[in-house]
Structure 1
Amino acid sequence: MYLAFMNVGGQELILLLIIVLVLFGAKKLPELARGMGQAIREFQKAKDEFSDELHSSGRTDKATTEVRSAPATIPTAPRIENAAPNPVVRPESRATVEPGSAADRV
């Protein structure tokens, strides 16, 4: 058995597995493998989300394009031609405020 990764052959692979078994024990190996599997899944999920985000940022949404291309119109209220003009109320020019009066207090 020959692996192209760092020229590890069959004998070297068996020796590495025995060393790992001695270091971690038979009870810890399934937990370590499970943790490695979860880490790899999380990494792949993050990688896929990142690539999806890159691909979606390059595309334009049809609804967004239609909204941008439509001219903006401001709705206006209908005009009523026969309405009476509003009376203009102007303040008296000679009105004075005495200190201490009700108009002086806020």
Structure 2
Amino acid sequence: MGTTFLFIGTPEIFMIILIVVMLFGAKRIPEIARGLGQGMRQVKDATNDIKREINESAKQEGIDTDIAKDINKEINEMKDNIDDVTGPIKRSM
């Protein structure tokens, strides 16, 4: 079984790359990748700005923002506990 990424297997990824090379040519691929990278960076920056603004306004209003951290901590602890229980089962199959 091949590697999957977003429900796309390795053969599909190679076909997509082949089609991109055929459509745009090998010379344009770095330019396209650079543009995609810049777009992803802008989305990440915008997301971080929104998070920062929400946290700042929550602190100004006196809302406890640590509750999300506590919930994530509890979820991670539960995942670890489940992994401890199911680990030997997964390895024996």
Fold in common (TM above 0.5): yes
Task: Give the drift of 1:30.
Answer: 0.3
Query: How many residues end up aligned between the 2 structures?
Result: 60
Is residue 2:33 matched to residue 1:2? no
Q: Segments of 4+ in structure 1 off by > 4 A?
A: none
Distance verdict in 2 for CA 1:33–1:4, change over 3 Å: closer
Which residue of structure 2 lines up, in the alignment, with residue 43 of structure 1? 43
Structure 1 unaligned spans of 5+: 61-106
The one-letter code sitting in structure 2 at the alignment partner of 1:23 is L
Q: TM-score, normalised by structure 1?
A: 0.51
Which residue of structure 2 lines up, in the alignment, with residue 58 of structure 1? 58
In proportion to residue count, which structure has more helix?
A: 2
Which residue of structure 2 lines up, in the alignment, with residue 32 of structure 1? 32
Higher relative contact order (CA 8 A, sep 6+): 2
State the SS of the aligned residue for 2:26: coil
Larger Rg: 1
In proportion to residue count, which structure has more strand?
A: 2
Which residue of structure 1 lines up, in the alignment, with residue 63 of structure 2? none
Alpha-carbon distance in structure 1 between the residues aligned to 2:16 and 2:46:
31
Alpha-carbon distance in structure 2 between the residues aligned to 1:13 and 1:30:
17
Alpha-carbon distance in structure 1 between the residues aligned to 2:9 and 2:50:
37
- Percent identical: 34
The alignment's C-alpha RMSD in Å is 1.7
Alpha-carbon distance in structure 1 between the residues aligned to 2:14 and 2:5:
16
